[in-house]
A = this chain, B = another copy of it.
């Protein structure tokens, strides 16, 4: 090695030793007779000092020419430092440099390599290799690495086998859009990149692998919204001979293990909530339960008093915002504006409050006297000083809008602290959901989800009511993962394919191998997939998964550093037997 030690390892115990360090010039301070340089590497920062006699002053002169981000190799003796620096673990010592070599020079970086950099996001993405030098950014990737290690350690201790499933797989028209890869050897045919190893992990269960995991890249060709990446990483798992309870227990164990080992936090037992309760009480299938503010339905209390908005609404529902009775007109208008801006499409916000001095008041006083308003607030368990926010309209949309509002207020009230973690299992998801777009039922998770046996009779009569053995893990209002028990017999799988509108021929063509596999002794099985990028961002306390990915793409799916994707040659296109079509 070109060094004897790293920049993070020297301590008082090394005083007197001759050492050689390598690293980057973080900054230098020049006081004429003495020059200090902070030398940085992945492991820390060590101070170099150039001072003393005449021969050394020549060295100091050379060192003056070292700019920020120069890479140097410096040899010298570890000495005690006058003024200690408690910010660095090496702050007790410094290196009295005897000689150094410039291993590489550096132009002035386009932004400062500091936690508080002056570089904007686009510049930092173009020079991602410089952005990654910032300790803030590097530490997030080190954290990710910790999570990777501890995830593996957990699964290994539970006898899971890691199996690499293929990345070039069969394309299926069902579900989200695949990325495809033209096959040169099989002209006119395409591989798909996996959206998940779903079918392969199920086949591993059929193969008797018993319990499988993989930390695996997956791909989805979607229009990139704020925080999506075309490629993402999944903790993918499957177990045979399990009940739903076994799966939940195993992955609850994982999450708690990660919190204990990586964050040094004991996570309490993870509560369970049915999908229908989650929708009813929080207006979302991923409630943030760091705070309560549960919904209260007010149909009974508000109907038939002549207020048309409420009378015509399918649902009138509200929640109590603690201590918000003092919200003024402008604050309330902002909430209304928020609802409008997000095009949530529900009727105007109605509010009621219970002031500290015991007055019950609402924005619809014309229709509802004070004692009626009182019954609303009492039903919500309001305390003096609380504000009740009410929306009305069709049930689904109103719940969704109120859910957004609840998150906004929760944020404003400081209930969404990044260092508080509340996990939740949402269970009993519907098997199917109605698609306005296609005018038919689609699988809510995927077509391989096992329906609740007791609900099966409703598959023909009331398909939307059929519940599945499906569950999501939600932490702080973010869906971290989801899974299900799977169908493991041909008949049920065929039934579901049919219900989803696949003809027998289509089912056979696309999933014939799976249907056939189920005829050769497929065991009961189930599993889960956790979004690893999302989990890392949660642990890192950052909002974007981009911040925990070494080389992310932007919202157009581009890597601006390497300028990818890019055109390819006509020769290459010809080899692949494809040609470009100008897009209308």
Contacts and interface: CB of A to CB of B under 8 A. Distances in A.
How many chain copies? Answer: 2
Contact of A163 (B103, B105, B145): B145
A561 interface: yes
A69 interface: yes
A202 to B, nearest CB: 9
B551 A166 contact: yes
Size category, A interface: 35 or more
Interface stretch (A148-156, A311-319, A333-341): A148-156
A521 B189 contact: no
B189 A567 contact: yes
Given A103-B524, A208-B42, A556 B166 contact: no
A171 interface: yes
If over half of A's interface residues share one DSSP class (helix, strand or loop), that class is named, otherwise mixed; here it is: loop
A162 B145 contact: yes
Contact of A132 (B208, B221, B583): B208
Nearest to A73: B241
A572 B182 CA distance: 13
A488 interface: yes
Interface in A120-144: 127-130, 132-133, 138, 141-142
Nearest to A131: B207
Q: Considering residues A190, A524, A569, which has the most beta carbons from chain B within 10 angstroms of its beta carbon?
A: A190
Given A149-B156, A523-B22, A562 B164 contact: no
Nearest to A169: B564
Given A133-B208, A241-B22, A183 B557 contact: yes
Given A104-B523, A583-B577, A550 B165 contact: yes
A188 to B, nearest CB: 5
A219 B22 contact: no
A130 B209 contact: no
A209 B520 contact: no
A129 B233 CA distance: 25
Which of A149, A207, A550: most chain B CB closer than 10 A?
A: A207
A387 B103 CA distance: 55
Interface stretch (A28-36, A57-65, A172-180, A470-478): A172-180
B170 A562 contact: yes
Contacts of A127: 520
Nearest to A43: B210
Contact of A130 (B41, B207, B241, B557): B207
Contacts of A404: none
A528 interface: no
A43 to B, nearest CB: 7
A431 to B, nearest CB: 21
Contacts of A561: 203, 513
A11 interface: no
Contact of A41 (B149, B190, B208): B208
Interface stretch (A223-231, A321-329, A346-354): A223-231
B148 A162 contact: yes
Contact of A206 (B129, B189, B521, B559): B129
A73 B242 CA distance: 12
Nearest to A250: B1
Nearest to A223: B185
A534 to B, nearest CB: 14
Interface string A262-298: 0000000000000000000000000000000000000
A567 B188 contact: yes
A401 B36 CA distance: 63
A325 to B, nearest CB: 48
Interface string A1-14: 11100100000000
Contacts of A167: 167, 193, 217, 219, 231
8 contacts: A24-B208, A69-B520, A164-B233, A173-B568, A191-B565, A513-B561, A577-B583, A578-B581
Query: Nearest 3 A-B pairs (CB), nearest first?
Result: A170-B564, A106-B521, A132-B207
Given A106-B519, A180-B568, A577-B580, 12 more contacts: A1-B242, A132-B208, A145-B163, A163-B550, A166-B553, A170-B563, A171-B572, A181-B565, A189-B566, A189-B567, A190-B565, A579-B579
Interface of A: 1-3, 6, 22-24, 40-43, 69-71, 73, 103-107, 109, 127-130, 132-133, 138, 141-142, 145, 148-149, 152, 156, 161-171, 173, 177, 179-193, 199-200, 203-204, 206-210, 217, 219, 221, 223-224, 230-231, 233, 240-243, 246, 488-489, 513, 517-524, 549-551, 553, 556-559, 561-569, 572-583
